[in-house]
Amino acid sequence: MKTQRGAVLIVSLVFLMLLTLLATSSMQNATLQEKVAGGLALRDASFQLAEAVLRTAEARILTPGFSQAECFTPLTCLPPAEALTLSGGGAGGASGVRWMTGSGGFFGIQHLGEAEDPAGAGGNLQPQRLYRVTAVGIHGTSRTVLESIHTEERRIMWRQRQ
């Protein structure tokens, strides 16, 4: 009987170690992809909530008889900074915006003043009230802040704040 030296055992252990490293690397990659997909899903959900809240606030502006006091200082006419940190409705910070809860988020409306022919409204030289609507949607750890400038008739511009 020949003396066995264990070469087959060493080769098989090396292959087993390589397969284990490959499996571990694949699991880490799959976990990372799952986290990225979860983050994208949260971001999309918060964006959809913010858009729904923005439309709710804009519908409020379009209701007959809607009025709101004009901002009284340049500081209170700025986009509200607390929209990036606030977690619910109620009184705001330095902007003086009163935040109202909507479906899945909250919003604030600021009356910015009046303008003639805002953003080329078809030559309508009648003064029109301008409103800034700031809508916040929060889903999980994701927050989306949307703003629109609106007249009593239509949306003039829209943006997403970072």
Q: What is the pLDDT of residue 124?
A: 60
pLDDT at residue 128 tops 70:
yes
Q: What is the pLDDT of residue 2?
A: 66
pLDDT at residue 1 tops 60:
no
pLDDT at residue 121 tops 60:
no
Q: What is the pLDDT of residue 123?
A: 60
In a domain, 17, yes or no: no
Beta-sheet pairing, 127-139 with 142-150 = antiparallel
Mean pLDDT of 8-29: 93
- Nearest Cα neighbor of 134 from 72, 42, 96 is 96
Instruction: Name 160's bridge partners.
Output: 146
Q: What is the pLDDT of residue 92?
A: 66
In a domain, 22, yes or no: no
Q: What is the pLDDT of residue 34?
A: 92
Number of structural domains, the chain? 1
Q: Look up the domain containing 90 and give its range.
A: 29-161
**Separation between Cα atoms, residue 96 and residue 155, nearest integer Å:** 23
Please provide the distance, in angstroms rounded to a whole number, between the alpha carbons at the two ends of the chain.
77
In a domain, 155, yes or no: yes
**Separation between Cα atoms, residue 44 and residue 46, nearest integer Å:** 6
Report pTM. 0.76
Would you call 80 helix, strand, or coil by DSSP? coil
In a domain, 63, yes or no: yes
* Residue that has been written with the tokens 């008889």 in this structure: 65
In a domain, 64, yes or no: yes
Beta-sheet pairing, 98-102 with 155-161 = unpaired
Q: What is the residue-averaged pLDDT of the chain?
A: 86
Q: What is the pLDDT of residue 122?
A: 60
* Residue that has been written with the tokens 């607390």 in this structure: 82
In a domain, 129, yes or no: yes
Q: What is the pLDDT of residue 3?
A: 65
Which of the two residues, 28 and 115, has the higher pLDDT score?
Answer: 28
